[in-house]
Amino acid sequence: MSVETTRLPSGLVVVTDEMPDLETASLGVWVNCGSRNERPDEHGVSHFLEHMAFKGTEQRSARQIAESIETVGGDLNAATGVEVTAYYARMLKADVPLALDVLADILSHPRFDPDEITRERNVIIQEIGALEDTPDDLVFDFLQATAYASQPLGHSILGTPESVRAIDAAKLRSYLARNYGSPTTVIAAAGAIKHDAIVEKVDHLFTDFGEAAPTFRPPATFTGGVHIESRDLEQAHIALALEGLPQRDSSLYSLQVFTNILGGGMSSRLFQEVREERGLCYSIYAFHAPYVDTGMFGLYAGTDAADAQELMRVIVGEMEATADGLTEVEVARAKAQMKSGLLMALESSGARAEQLARHMIIHGRVIPVDEIVSRVDSVTVDTAREAGRALMARSRPAVAVLGPGRLEGAAAIAESLALKAA
């Protein structure tokens, strides 16, 4: 990796990684704010703002924004997260200046036309409705809300129909002015680019970008609890969470190894025991999502409602058995998966640009690949077991169950993990 970083006098960070063999480039603007930065009367405004960025500026209409990139064969998109919002593009190397110009325009000069706001409000409400029709996604919204009850971190990124209807141009402008600014923003690029050319263009185009800094990100508290919702579905969708680790925790890699051994792939314990040996489900997996000051370990499975209790008993048993008895062979396999996944991803300019931005926001520097690999290699059987034991002793579980029939029994079995904290 040929990473270069420049911090402009405004505080705006530009970080690049040139990949000279490519003919294309990926670049974007990553802002250190998301749904967690929303005030109580702003639920859904982060996501709404992301949509409105593409709906017209002082210089371009919504159609002109889309056509400006697609006419040259490029892609333009965005994503709102809990703590970070990203606006990014991929294009041929000759069109990098155009992409930067469009990104600067949509973030510095949005119009927030009332008619566009009305149309996009309806689009977002339709998006919320689509989520309601996708139970294997909806159950994760329930899980997040249960894990971090009555907190911005527990809110759906999309908002609710009621909160979205209350968002107007004034709220959009207030949120934008408060959270979007040079000191909170990273511009990252990878592929067929030159660092100095990117810096020069950014310095010229982002002069109207504000100097705001996030002021509203209250500490998160993992509450745990149970959410059960009966619906006429073919399957019961079950999600379980425990409080994990924050982004900078020294045990993060050990916990990730534990997570991969438990439910990280076809060779994982849960996949082998629950699906291959017992045939209790089609899909089952575990994950860990780290945040600034907390983290969420979770797992998901979809099963027949009649099998839900047996499935949950097996899951709880495998979690305990993995924490007590994971092996050297399993640790080696999990570490190999993590390292290969990292290196394979870095063959993509888009993945590189995203990693550059994420590292700058979280760590204030880009962590070299060799250093990441070294951290993975440092995980041992003992540290992975300890990470698993600490996970189950850290918090009361959060459980979300969505499906037909009575599912309280499965939730009660999941809650038995709370005994580990006693």
Give me 419's structure tokens.
Answer: 């005994």
Counting every residue, how long is the chain? Answer: 422
Instruction: Say if strands 185-191 and 225-230 run parallel, antiparallel, or are unpaired.
Output: unpaired
Query: What is residue 318's three-state secondary structure?
Result: helix
Beta bridge partners of 298: 241, 287
Q: Amino acid identity, residue 386?
A: E
Sign of CA dihedral 334, 265, 145, 316: negative
> Residue 15: beta bridge partners?
5, 188
Residues 304, 311: Cα–Cα separation, whole Å:
9
Using CA atoms of 67, 69, 75, 81 in order, give the dihedral in degrees to the nearest 10: -90
Annotated catalytic, 318?
A: no
Query: 42, 50, 243, 415: which one is catalytic?
Result: 50
Q: With CA atoms as reference, report the closest residue to 11 among 295, 256, 202.
A: 202
Closest CA to 23 of 101, 100, 76, 90: 90
The C-alpha angle 221, 223, 227, rounded to 5 degrees, equals 140
- Cα–Cα nearest to 213, from 25, 12, 400: 12
Residue 333, both tokens: 């396999």
Contacts of 232 (CB under 8 A, 6+ apart): 404
From the CB of residue 39, how many other CB atoms can be counted at a distance below 10 Å?
14
Helix (H) or strand (E) holding 76: strand 75-80
Catalytic residues: 50
